[in-house]
Amino acid sequence: MIAVEKWSGREARALREAMRLSVRDFAACLGISDRTVSMWEAAGTARTPRPHMQAILDTTLAKTSPDVQERFSQSLHIRAPRPRVLATSNRPEFSADQMITRAAADSESFFHHIAASAEGTSPVDVLHAEISRAVETYPRQPVYPTFLEVLGIRDAAFSLIKAHSHLPKACDLYLISGVACGVLANASFDLGHLPAAEAQAKAAYSCAEAAGSNWLRVWTRGMQSLIAYWDDRFADAAALAESASTLRPESGSAAVRLASIEARAHARLGNAEAVQRALHRANTARTAIASTEPYGGMLAFPEEKQLFYASTCNVWLPGARRAQWAAHDAAQAIQLYEQAPSHQQRTGELLLARLDLASALLGLGDLDGTASEVRTVLATAPDRKTDSVRRRLLQVRDFITPAYATAPAAREIREEITGYCARPSPRPPETP
């Protein structure tokens, strides 16, 4: 595989000519203006593209055919290196991760080529099937591998849009791209990278606009509100949710989710009346669902999730009666989650519902019940250690502190939470 140590205008021009593209077509392939390509080429070796463009050029070269790579190497007098496990310095020329990633990318590219050439199958249909599967399995899979998988789907969809924006299924491509960006936003959020999550959600909303999909608009506004909520920007979270409250999704439960997220933001602001209005809208939207989810899995908002969001609202509002409501809703949510078939388990949400129940029981004076729920989460969470679970554990720990300042059992559970949360965080996503 040919590798370019550092791209300049000279290498960019060689790649364009090897691909036998005009300046305009090459610029479209890279997703940049033809003026930028012309500036690179005019400057030759004196101009180097920015780091993110270096990566795009690497990817473009890697995805070209062997004939194109041969023409490119001959133009620059580069001899394609043969991958070796060990170099003379006894250090790998390519790391195992690099080789595995490159091999997977090549195989995935060839898979798309085969799928697209099969009778009656289009690349759009293939990508739709892939993103549907990723969305369906996300709630019960480790987050980072799913992030990488969806990143590949997004890149493939982006490439098709850039190269074939005139395709009859362009709207479908924008929808697939928006869903992929939405999943990447959720994964970045779960891995504790809120700025990256916001950037992905912004791209998802732009795709929703291009696709003309109210469902994706509403779901993405909910994602943006959720990010603001966990960033302790509760007024922003409420405003983001309210901004899409008049939109009517074509199908699915996105409106239920949006109203439930808004309710939680109002709860953190201490506005009980606004909480009740938002929860009422969520119930109304639930009864108004007329058709199935456009995508299932993590993008759906089932009844049990609505229940645990309602329990969260009451956890954050004062009073024993609110604590009783929270405990009731959280316990009911846990029961529904546990009744789901194994292939439909939503582990992360179940853990958060347990932590709501732990908080509610603490408000009712049941320290033993709180400790039991927390320890169940600590025993299960390593399989699904998301940032929201970590943050929620710390909130429960802080709830315990003032209520049971001297109780040995309280001190033990606080120490267990602190020890768990001090362990290394999940592997962060690479910059897409």
Per-residue model confidence (pLDDT) at position 50? 78
Taking the C-alpha atoms of residue 169 and residue 122, their distance in angstroms, rounded to an integer, is 10
Q: Which residues of 259-277 are buried (b: 16+ CB within 10 A; e: fewer)?
A: bbbbbbbbbbeebbebbee
Query: What would the mean pLDDT of 316-326 be, rounded to a whole number?
Result: 95
Question: Over 50: is that where the pLDDT of 431 sits?
Answer: no
Per-residue model confidence (pLDDT) at position 121? 55
Per-residue model confidence (pLDDT) at position 372? 94
Taking the C-alpha atoms of residue 354 and residue 345, their distance in angstroms, rounded to an integer, is 15
φ, ψ dihedrals at 228, nearest 5°: -60, -40
Provide CB contacts within 8 A for 325, sequence distance 6+: 310, 311, 314
pTM over 0.85: no
Question: Over 70: is that where the pLDDT of 380 sits?
Answer: yes
Query: What would the mean pLDDT of 141-148 be, rounded to a whole number?
Result: 85
* Helix/strand/coil (H/E/C) assignment for every residue in 169-233: CHHHHHHHHHHHHHHHHHHHHHCCCHHHHHHHHHHHHHHHHHHCCHHHHHHHHHHHHHHHHHCCC
Q: For residues 200 and 62, which has the higher predicted lDDT (pLDDT)?
A: 200
Tens-place pLDDT, residues 229-247: 999 999 999 999 999 999 9
Question: Over 90: is that where the pLDDT of 156 sits?
Answer: no
Burial environment of residue 349 by CB neighbours within 10 A (0 to 12, 13 to 18, 19 or more): buried
Per-residue model confidence (pLDDT) at position 171? 87
Taking the C-alpha atoms of residue 192 and residue 391, their distance in angstroms, rounded to an integer, is 10
Instruction: Give the pLDDT band (50/70/90) at residue 9.
Output: confident
Per-residue model confidence (pLDDT) at position 429? 44
Per-residue model confidence (pLDDT) at position 400? 85
Per-residue model confidence (pLDDT) at position 210? 92
* Max mean pLDDT range (40-49, 150-159, 208-217): 208-217
Instruction: Give the pLDDT band (50/70/90) at residue 382.
Output: low
- Going from the C-alpha of 281 to that of each of 262, 286, 384, the distances in angstroms are 10, 9, 31
Comparing C-alpha atoms, which of 365, 242, 254 is closest to residue 305? Answer: 254
Sequence letter at residue 333? A
Tens-place pLDDT, residues 71-127: 888 888 754 444 433 333 343 444 555 445 445 555 555 444 444 444 455 778 888
> Which tokens sit at 21?
């593209």
Question: Over 90: is that where the pLDDT of 299 sits?
Answer: yes
* Max mean pLDDT range (19-33, 90-104, 148-162, 255-269): 255-269
Return the DSSP state at 119: T
Q: How far apart are the first and last CA of the chain?
A: 22
Q: What percent of the chain has pLDDT over 90?
A: 48
Query: What would the mean pLDDT of 273-300 be, rounded to a whole number?
Result: 91
Tell me the pLDDT of the chain averaged across its residues: 84
Question: Over 50: is that where the pLDDT of 51 sits?
Answer: yes
Q: What is the dihedral of CA 294, 297, 302, 306, to 10 degrees?
A: -110
Tens-place pLDDT, residues 357-374: 999 999 999 999 999 999
- Going from the C-alpha of 395 to that of each of 128, 249, 281, 418, the distances in angstroms are 39, 34, 28, 11
Question: Over 80: is that where the pLDDT of 276 sits?
Answer: yes
